Structure 1
């Protein structure tokens, strides 16, 4: 599977998507496609882009439905004519490499009460989110879309929350993900053991290292940490490797959380 991302140049800012806390936007690129653009100048900066990238690439490798991810260049002159000062500042601080997700025109938000979800797919998504510690796939904010009658995963920027403190990654890697109890698909995830067997057989250190090494160095110069890009990548890889080796821990947590729902 080709996990390399294309790089596009943003040519037109269309509209902000204000339902997102980080103020993503609908934009057009020089390949004539539209993208939901995630900005490095937004709230959690490049760490949210890294989480989005890692979560999306792992989901893609596992065969889960996710819109195409692209690296998106923002020219320094882009957005100077934007009237909204908040947006103008966001674009100014986002010059350089950002991240885009292919825009699924006409998609609607997944509603657990109104939309079905296959038990195995639900179980796979729950497993993924427990693996990458994604806190943001709840009934309140599903971060799932229905497009052409299928479910698509979006928005993994709240994953890997350990990187906001960067001091307890080893502990987080082997700790059960208790927030899985709030996962929107947990009630439908009746095949967690099957998902676990499939994904633990697919994932390995080689593929995890390949994905981590694709993080752009441009996103790895952190003012709050005195560590090099290579050292940062090493921690992300070690976190994922250790978490995969201890996958039974978060699998059991999810299974126990399901029992409280029955």
Structure 2
């Protein structure tokens, strides 16, 4: 059992209130308490406060320089397996347990959300779920496969709907059977002296490396996949008949690609949006079954 974050153990001081405690106690957005505590512990870390401001401008400068260097490399040059080996080993050694846990959760949450949409579509659609529970599983090119799965799903879904002259529509009793808590455990994440780097700093560090080891097409596709947050949100909101929850999305508009320089920051928003949509689906599943609502 990992110790609780400082903002949950220190007494509340009305003259010096903790912003992290305020965000944790706030219930205006759907997020499981355990996830929220891990997210805010990571966000309130010294790494994010003192390391991220130095790393972010350096990382964005590297993105520009690498883009220039890649003009001189063969168009199809890539080393995806080496990239994923490097990412997995770096995460095991330098990234905080909370950040690693949130990253691994993300793959399973994304897979469940796509399956939810597919299962509640009027036309059956194939999905390719990715559900890692250990960091070493990332070495099987899972970051790249995650992006490919998203675009392939959107293409398959909409091609099937077009072929049959159908559209997604509100489902009175949605199928939530695939929506469950991921098997990945926080206490199984590496937690040694050097595992200090927060999620945002890690993403900023890894984005230029991701760009260097992939083709331009793969990197641009990965960056543009963030634009699909609103698309997936609209699909889920249509099925649920709950368009008000689209206000939680920040990666807009899907038809207006943004610069790769902000990919790291937008990737964090993407992860948070996925967590909140999954938490919302968990709440609706519990309500449909008449079970107690998950905390948060």
Q: Output the TM-score relative to the length of structure 2.
A: 0.24
TM-score, L = length of structure 1? 0.27
* Greater fraction of residues in strand: 1
Q: Which has the higher contact order (CA 8 A, sep 6+)?
A: 2
Higher helix share: 2
Q: Which has the larger radius of gyration?
A: 2
